[in-house]
Amino acid sequence: MNAPETDGGAAVQAANEASADVSPRPTLPLPDELQTIQPGGGVVMRLELAWGRLRRWYLRRLRPGYVRHMAEKRKGSCPDCPHDIVDPRDLKYVRNRCGYYWEPEDDPFAYRDRLPFARAGLAELVVLSIIFFGTALGLGVWLALAPPPSPWRFAAGLSALAAAVCGVLVVWFFRDPPRTIPAGPGLIVSPADGKVVSIERIDDEYVGRPALTIGIFLSIFNVHLNRSPADARVVGLKYKPGKCLNALRPESARENESLSILLEDLSPHRRPMIVRQITGAIARRIVCWVRPGQILKRGERLGMIKLGSRTELILPDTPDLRLEVAVGARVRAGASVLARYADDAAGQTTQADQDTQPAALSQPDH
């Protein structure tokens, strides 16, 4: 899918001159549908929000000194917060709307970011682990105490094993392993773990030109955190309610619930790109905690989809785009290079050559 080769120096010079006139896209307001980072709601989310209300009531009445201390350390502003923000735990579901924050040294819960599990899924991890491992333990105790002739021993043993396996899968699903982010100009990394199931050319309204869509299917065995494909600014977010079809079906990209993160890379070209989170038959909870105007680093976490899903990356299909993967490839979020824009690398090489040899413009490799 590469474009015909052109004169490298002339192409880079022309691209740099053109990009100097590219203005940043206006930041879009946050849609009303995105009152929280998890627009689809959910039982665990409701439980955690109820616990938050109870916790804030307890802290204000029985630990006023702690509340004053956290208020003194709190920074930023939030004129329309949906609820009181007493400490960093209260930011979890409103990070996309709230401007409050604490410095890491003032955050007593910063250790949660260092856990090997997705912080946005800790509540589900705890609740589901209690359900599955608790069931397995209870059945195991019953098996140990039940008399041998009991006709239910085999069924109980099988159920205990199934519950334990489900508990292990839940722990495995919410893992958050560290990733080494590749460095280099023009690199576009995968926004998700999984298998590349489609690569198509489309016309996209936001991109405003022919675009390339890379579809990635995430099974329940993949890490489900999404990451930024490039150094970029969040222009806006678009939420679309929909169905929960199997994420392997092509029509799931059009008909399922989805959230599109509209980005603009920080290169001089200000390329528009989209990361689209799409629910699946099992995964029905999209989570995205970025907000319009936010600056993301390449490979930075920006959200997750809980329990199996599909993620799409939409890129401008320009002549300098070099695709680095094919359908069937296994990719890792933030670590696998999906594509690269040759003009960015060539532009950096040209600038370096100009700094050292003002009279000569080198020919970059394509």
pLDDT of residue 315: 97
Whether 250 shows a pLDDT value over 80: the answer reads no
DSSP assignment, residue 117? B
For residue 142, tell me if it sits in a domain.
Answer: yes
For residue 357, tell me if it sits in a domain.
Answer: no
Which residue, 359, 112, 305, 313, is CA-closest to 213? 313
Q: How many domains does the chain have?
A: 3
Whether 356 shows a pLDDT value over 60: the answer reads no
Q: How far apart, in whole angstroms, are the C-alpha atoms of residue 347 and residue 271?
A: 15
pTM of the model: 0.84
Catalytic one of 150, 309, 336, 362? 309
pLDDT band, very low/low/confident/very high, at 251 (cuts 50, 70, 90): low
* Percentage with pLDDT > 90 across the chain: 67
Per the document, the length of the chain is 366
Q: Looking at the structure, tell me whether residues 157 and 217 fall in a common domain.
A: no
pLDDT of residue 208: 87
Q: Which residue has the higher pLDDT, 45 or 250?
A: 45
pLDDT band, very low/low/confident/very high, at 137 (cuts 50, 70, 90): very high
pLDDT of residue 65: 97
**CA–CA–CA angle 73, 35, 42 (5° rounding):** 105
For residue 27, tell me if it sits in a domain.
Answer: no
Q: Terminus-to-terminus CA distance in the chain, angstroms? A: 13
Q: Looking at the structure, tell me whether residues 248 and 341 fall in a common domain.
A: yes
Q: Looking at the structure, tell me whether residues 98 and 138 fall in a common domain.
A: no
pLDDT of residue 220: 82
Buried b (16+ CB within 10 A) or exposed e, 271-288: bbbbbbbbbbbebbbbbb
Q: Looking at the structure, tell me whether residues 262 and 140 fall in a common domain.
A: no
For residue 10, tell me if it sits in a domain.
Answer: no
Q: Looking at the structure, tell me whether residues 269 and 299 fall in a common domain.
A: yes
Q: Which two tokens stand for residue 318?
A: 């320009």
Q: Looking at the structure, tell me whether residues 203 and 140 fall in a common domain.
A: no
Q: Looking at the structure, tell me whether residues 70 and 190 fall in a common domain.
A: no
Give 233's strand partners: 264, 295
Whether 257 shows a pLDDT value over 70: the answer reads yes
pLDDT of residue 307: 72
pLDDT band, very low/low/confident/very high, at 154 (cuts 50, 70, 90): confident
Let me know if 309 is a catalytic residue.
yes
Mean pLDDT to the nearest integer, 165-186: 93
Distances, alpha carbon 77 to alpha carbons 11, 71, 138, 338, in Å: 45, 12, 48, 38
Domain that holds residue 329: 179-348
pLDDT, averaged across the chain = 86
Whether 19 shows a pLDDT value over 50: the answer reads no
Q: Looking at the structure, tell me whether residues 52 and 146 fall in a common domain.
A: no
Q: How far apart, in whole angstroms, are the C-alpha atoms of residue 94 and residue 108?
A: 19
pLDDT band, very low/low/confident/very high, at 2 (cuts 50, 70, 90): very low
